[in-house]
Structure 1
């Protein structure tokens, strides 16, 4: 676990700026998060889903005085811009790429100053900054360091859920403050709400520990002879996996003939019981 405060610029993330008289209603009706009550200087986590309810793009929404910023995957920013333009129709909303740089701070240390916002998913994840200056004394880190830190907390990322592959509840968006079930309609809402209401969530993303190098993404997780899931992203000793909850309880699990062990983070257990 990281002990010192680490500063990591995220070249993998980019910003889209929304403004105009209708920006709030426009975005509120599209994404899984509530933006009607979003205040300037507040950040929330959510996703734009497919009509069938699978994660299309994850995002963070940052409230501003004259609109909001969307913190999105840089590789998908152009596609997200195009999709938002399609949904815009006659709404009075401006949509444009913004050059604000995204960074994160994580590890032990005092709360940073202006420009830094506490990660809304989990307090232990630290802060996200937009054009913010690194605090004095923070150590420079790389994106791989941040990915490993998030993984150590059991928090999945875009490399795990992909695009149009995963229902947000399977990727724990509901447990990480990424879905507002009280907000009403949004794209993909019907499937998402039905899964939550009926309690039909059989698959969840959880970290797995093992000896040696990480199995390849897609490698089967076996409970005896039964398929219990598949590996997602990872590194030596620890990876994320998509797992059938009804097949892993008390089972001896293996991947490629090697024993593996599921880690159930404290926040995961607490959120499930709330």
Structure 2
């Protein structure tokens, strides 16, 4: 994959991201039910806005990551198709007697668009086709990243170039995605910066895994994070270890030419930077930065 400028990659909207699907949760108690198990605050979620969230294990690790938005009488959950049936069964387990219906839309359509010279006209044409469009709040408002949903119908699949364009955009803004950037049941929400853009609420009360995640937040013990990586040459493939002085500090994840995301130990990265020890992805020297949206900083003190 070559390096590309993510805001001018293509005109209009993508084809269908057919590796993702939609689940609707509708009913008079849908909000109360989901609010009690998901990491994000749904009460504050406005219509037309898409919010990142997760369902955790009781030990606080991410079992499923997804995007959630409001629909009439409930919510739409946008998640990876692989594992979606298991996710729906998990929701059914947690539902108990809550008055909420869980509907898996296996033939649904998910298209994306973001700001280009002609994006407003393309968004209008999508709206005419009875798609519901919502803005992804993880990205700056001026970039206007939209996801366009239809519950059924037909659409050409997203092309490889369009998928590369989406990866480039995520890397440019430091946004991790399950599968590409982390493995389920392996990371805490803090590891992928989920709490940095309203993906975790520490004020709403209990949710599955809340005690562990809240403890990490209040003690400031998060050490693994998603950082942005740049190099003077094309980077090696995803999963390449990143080392400093022969010791591993993390792993490359999504890669787009000379730019990438990495899941790293930020204390070890800071230690290497303080000692002027080169950070290497394979044999390629890299630099790392904290995404612009993040409120965390590199920790002080020696790495363990």
Which TM-score band (shorter chain)? 0.7 to 0.9
| 2:252 pairs with 1:220 | no
Equivalent position of 2:110 in the other structure: 102
**1:16 Cα shift?**
0.4
Matches within 5 A, 1:76-225: 76-98=83-105, 99-109=107-117, 112-113=123-124, 114=127, 115-123=132-140, 124=143, 126-131=145-150, 142-158=162-178, 159-225=180-246
CA distance in 1, matches of 2:46, 2:169: 29
**1:195 Cα shift?**
0.9
Matches within 5 A, 1:25-104: 25-98=32-105, 99-104=107-112
11 and 125 in structure 1: CA distance in 2 versus 1, 3 angstrom threshold: farther
Cα offsets for 1:187-210 (capped at 9, x unmatched)? 111111111111111121112123
122 and 39 in structure 1: CA distance in 2 versus 1, 3 angstrom threshold: closer
CA contact (8 A) 2:234 2:257 kept: yes
- Where structure 1 has 5 or more consecutive residues not aligned to the other structure, the ranges are 133-138
Matches within 5 A, 1:237-256: 237-249=258-270, 250=273, 251=276, 252-256=278-282
CA distance in 1, matches of 2:103, 2:216: 34
- TM-score, normalised relative to structure 1: 0.87
213 and 41 in structure 1: CA distance in 2 versus 1, 3 angstrom threshold: closer
CA contact (8 A) 2:57 2:63 kept: yes
| 2:259 pairs with 1:259 | no
- TM-score, normalised relative to structure 2: 0.79
Query: Counterpart of 2:112 in 1: which secondary structure?
Result: strand
CA contact (8 A) 1:39 1:64 kept: no
CA contact (8 A) 1:121 1:178 kept: no
CA contact (8 A) 2:136 2:147 kept: yes
CA distance in 1, matches of 2:144, 2:65: 17
**1:238 Cα shift?**
2.0
- Where structure 2 has 5 or more consecutive residues not aligned to the other structure, the ranges are 152-157, 298-304
| 2:39 pairs with 1:13 | no
**1:5 Cα shift?**
4.2
117 and 237 in structure 1: CA distance in 2 versus 1, 3 angstrom threshold: same
CA distance in 2, matches of 1:102, 1:51: 31
36 and 176 in structure 1: CA distance in 2 versus 1, 3 angstrom threshold: closer
**1:76 Cα shift?**
2.0
Equivalent position of 2:300 in the other structure: none
CA distance in 1, matches of 2:220, 2:286: 27
CA contact (8 A) 2:236 2:281 kept: yes
**1:28 Cα shift?**
0.7
CA distance in 1, matches of 2:12, 2:228: 22
CA distance in 1, matches of 2:165, 2:47: 30
Equivalent position of 1:135 in the other structure: none
Runs of 4+ in 1 over 4 A off after TM superposition: none
